[in-house]
Amino acid sequence: MKKVICPVCGGICIKYGNNKFSNWELEASVSKIDEFKDCIKALENWRHEIMNIFRYEITNGYTERCNNKSKVLKRVSYGLMNYERFVKRRMQLWQNI
């Protein structure tokens, strides 16, 4: 399934992307894999937003990356006694982005 959905994201126009997306949903629902039921439901709920990827070609990848880096740093820094060191490390991290 992953091999089918990845080329879908490279679609040029929204009509092409919509058709490929619908084909993938159909194939996933026919596959009778239980994990795809929740996935298909989520995709149906977010279909408009997903189709906007084809229309505008803008994503929130940078924001997601920044949030992920912050969460990883917070998790790794759990138990640090010096809060100032944590803040300095966070600022150093943001300079590299």
Does the pTM of the predicted model rise above 0.95? no
pLDDT tens digits along 16-28: 777 888 888 888 8
Q: What distance lies between CA 57 and its chain's CA centroid?
A: 14
Q: What is the pLDDT of residues 27-66, one digit of tens each?
A: 888 888 888 888 888 888 988 888 887 777 777 888 888 8
What token pair was written down for 97?
A: 């982005």
Under the banding of pLDDT at 50, 70 and 90, the label for residue 70 is confident
Written as one string, the DSSP assignment of the chain is -HHHHHHHTT-SSHHHHHHHHHHHHHHHHHTT-THHHHHHHHHHHTHHHHHHHHHH----HHHHHHHHHHHHHHHHTTT-S-HHHHHHHHHHHHHT-
